[in-house]
Amino acid sequence: MELDDLTLNVLYLAHDMADAAIRRRVLTLMAGGATVTVAGFERGSNVLADEGDVTTVSLGQTADGRFAQRIGAVLAARMRLKRMLADIAVPGIIIARNLETLALAGRAASMFSRRVPVVYECLDIHRLLLDEGMKGRLMRQAQLFFGRRASLLITSSPAFVENFFKPLSGLDLPVLLLENKVLALEPEPVSGPLQPRPPEPGKPWRIGWFGAIRCRKSLDMLIDFAARMDGKVEIVLRGRPAYSEFDDFDAKVAAAPHVEFHGAYRNPEDLSAIYGDVQFTWAIDFFEEGLNSSWLLPNRLYEGGLYGAVPIALAGTETGRFIGKRGIGLVRNQVTAETLEALFNEMTEARYVDLFSRLAAVERSQWVTGPADCRALVSRLAALHPNVPSPAEMPAVSTLQS
């Protein structure tokens, strides 16, 4: 069976089919004209279960924070991969999300054709890849070994390239930068101009921390800060907590005054409502402080930007530089419960409206991935396959090693 010249069949190898970002990438590829089959590991509810046009294949169960178990699951999947993928459509390209599925990509490609290109998608740099000891060296060697089959690297922040891929990974691949923008397939993702939404008299400021909730330091800090403010500020949590990173997330949040947790949400369907419910977004992550957390550009930065939630960020991080360069948020050299208390004791409606106006003035394309972007991505991927003619116009890429 040969690749259809008109449609790119994508086999997407997913590290976690409960991750909302997997669904967004799949919807992006489909909006660009590709058909997508997802084979991935399960850690919770499959976010693609309701997508009737997407075939999903379970590669097994993995768990947050259990690295040895995940290695075992990958090895088991390699042994059974031919049987697991026996009934799927022949792919024109394979995308491997994170190192654990990169370890399967070459084996999967060999099942169909040596000519099937592999793309390595890496949007977080795991701390073990940065370890200076034997574990780190082994992890980097594994990435280099499995990455030898890849034709392209997709990543979401230039700081990942500058701080890891270029100096440390040993990989020599073209890079496609795909920021964590909001998928907006309608012509106008925001109906009408954004309007500031200061709290009504006597009501608190509301700070939203949405998405992957995995930072214990942030949680403890925000709980302490909310208690200090005694009802003048509320913290709103939504998303998917990494329970392995907290002693007892649910009990801690339930006991905290002026802190709310409202569970998971659909991305992008619920973004307008949840960001419209807050004035500020927490864009700080200490989870891997000084490493991945300092280099990433998180989903919530773009979501809050699109829907007018003023970001709070830490100076010296890639997020802080992004915000500071555009003059659109609150960037602080030091962030503690005490410094947050001082900041919000001085917050006025006029100050908030000025911050909001700066954010609202940013061009919408800074925050969204639209239909044209989806088509450009699929064209870029299709051009990797020898049976597909190169498109007339190609997105620019950089090179890891020049």
> pLDDT tens digits, residue range 298-349?
999 999 999 999 999 999 999 999 999 999 999 999 999 999 999 999 999 9
In angstroms, the CA 243 to CA 348 distance is 36
Which whole-number Å values give the CA distances from 356 to 15, 249, 279, 305, in the listed order?
A: 37, 31, 9, 10
- Yes or no: say if 352 and 196 are a contact pair by the CB < 8 Å rule: yes
Residue 392 confidence (pLDDT) above 60? no
Tell me if the pTM is above 0.85.
Answer: yes
Q: How confident is the model at residue 387 (pLDDT cuts 50, 70, 90)?
A: low
pLDDT in tens, 103-161: 999 999 999 987 899 999 999 998 899 999 999 999 999 999 999 999 999 999 999 99
- Yes or no: say if 298 and 283 are a contact pair by the CB < 8 Å rule: yes
- CB-neighbour burial class of residue 67 (10 A; exposed 0-12, middle 13-18, buried 19+): middle
pLDDT at 69: 87
Phi and psi of 383, rounded to 5°?
-65, -15
Share of the chain above pLDDT 90, in %: 80
H or E segment to which residue 260 belongs: strand 259-261
**Token digits for 76?**
């088991």
Q: Which stretch of 12-21, 93-102, 378-387 has the lowest confidence by average pLDDT?
A: 378-387
- Yes or no: say if 119 and 146 are a contact pair by the CB < 8 Å rule: no
